[in-house]
């Protein structure tokens, strides 16, 4: 443990270790991605996928190890015993800081399939990272606005079709698809601007996950509802690496996804209303959980 080091030095060392670790494992990921791209055969893809999954897990293991060396993180986690490695999951969570991603990767490491984040299709052109995300089977998603569809009616349903195609690779192997349904990190300013009905959350957005369930409804029947709370206040990444100790509470609930929400048309008005009701009920409970965690008197 390096808690004796001054905060700024510990933070600088943490950033350096995480960057070097990403570069170290990123090089073999990129090389494997190139071979996967130029040898698009089923047998070779399976072989390269095995290598890429191992590289991803090892990269995350090293990240977790470096953080444990740098500081003390006191986790209180409930619900891990409900999880399975060979199951399809839609993972949803509240979002307060980029530290949330570190927390999720730490908590779920080895308990469920490696987390995949839905990305905007334009991000596939990001130098180096775009190819790496593609190789790691991150699904890329294109969402057309109502204005775009009005101008070009032939685009109607194309986004759903593209999402289904992006998710085809997950129909034969278990996957965990991650989505921060608030769409952005929580701040007091955003909370006030939205006039959110929740005390500790922004309004959830159903668009992204309704697309996932439309495309993967046959195999994805469970949602992992994650509630992340920081009893001493949320820290940004720099503050997290600089501080000597951070307390984090993670509550995990595995919920069955109602059949009427799977494999449907996400643009259907009646369906959207039902989906929003279901999601808002989860958010109401989540808001109360956070209130119970951060209220004065928590040990």
Mean pLDDT of the chain: 87
Say if CB 236 and CB 99 are below 8 A apart. yes
Query: Is 219 a residue whose pLDDT tops 80?
Result: yes
| pLDDT tens digit sequence for 20-71 | 998 899 899 989 988 988 988 888 988 998 999 899 899 999 999 999 999 9
What is the pLDDT at residue 286? Answer: 97
| pLDDT tens digit sequence for 207-217 | 778 878 887 87
Of the options 3.40.630, 3.10.450, 1.10.287, 3.40.1130, the CATH number for the domain spanning 72-294: 3.40.1130
More confident residue, 142 or 201: 201
What is the pLDDT at residue 281? Answer: 96
What is the pLDDT at residue 212? Answer: 82
| pLDDT tens digit sequence for 260-272 | 888 888 778 888 8
82 phi/psi in degrees, rounded to 5: -85, -10
pTM comes to: 0.87
Query: Is 297 a residue whose pLDDT tops 50?
Result: no
Query: Is 115 a residue whose pLDDT tops 70?
Result: yes
CA distance 195 to 213: 28
């Amino acid at each position: 443990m390096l808690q004796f080091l001054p905060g700024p030095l510990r933070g600088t060392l943490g950033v350096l270790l995480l960057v070097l670790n990403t570069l170290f494992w990123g090089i073999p990921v990129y090389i494997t991605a190139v071979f996967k791209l130029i040898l698009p055969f089923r047998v070779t893809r399976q072989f390269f996928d095995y290598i890429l999954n191992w590289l991803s897990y090892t990269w995350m293991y090293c990240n977790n190890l470096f953080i444990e060396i740098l500081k003390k993180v006191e986790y209180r986690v409930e619900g891990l015993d409900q999880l399975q490695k060979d199951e399809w999951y839609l993972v949803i969570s509240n979002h307060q800081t980029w530290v949330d991603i570190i927390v999720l990767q730490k908590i779920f490491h080895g308990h469920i399939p490696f987390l995949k984040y839905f990305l905007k299709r334009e991000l596939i052109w990001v130098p180096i990272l775009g190819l790496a995300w593609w190789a790691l089977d991150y699904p890329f998603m294109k969402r057309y606005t109502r204005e775009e569809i009005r101008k070009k009616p032939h685009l109607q349903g194309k986004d759903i079709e593209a999402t289904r195609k992006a998710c085809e690779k997950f129909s034969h192997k278990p996957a965990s698809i991650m989505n921060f349904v608030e769409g952005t990190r929580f701040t007091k300013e955003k909370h006030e601007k939205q006039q959110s009905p929740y005390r500790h959350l922004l309004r959830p957005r159903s668009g992204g996950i309704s697309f996932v369930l439309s495309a993967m409804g046959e195999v994805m029947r469970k949602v992992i509802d994650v509630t992340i709370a920081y009893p001493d206040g949320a820290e940004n990444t720099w503050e997290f690496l600089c501080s000597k100790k951070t307390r984090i509470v993670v509550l995990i609930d595995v919920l069955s996804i109602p059949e009427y929400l799977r494999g449907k048309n996400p643009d259907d008005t009646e369906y959207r209303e039902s989906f929003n009701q279901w999601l808002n009920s989860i958010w109401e409970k989540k808001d109360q959980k956070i209130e119970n965690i951060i209220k004065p008197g928590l040990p």
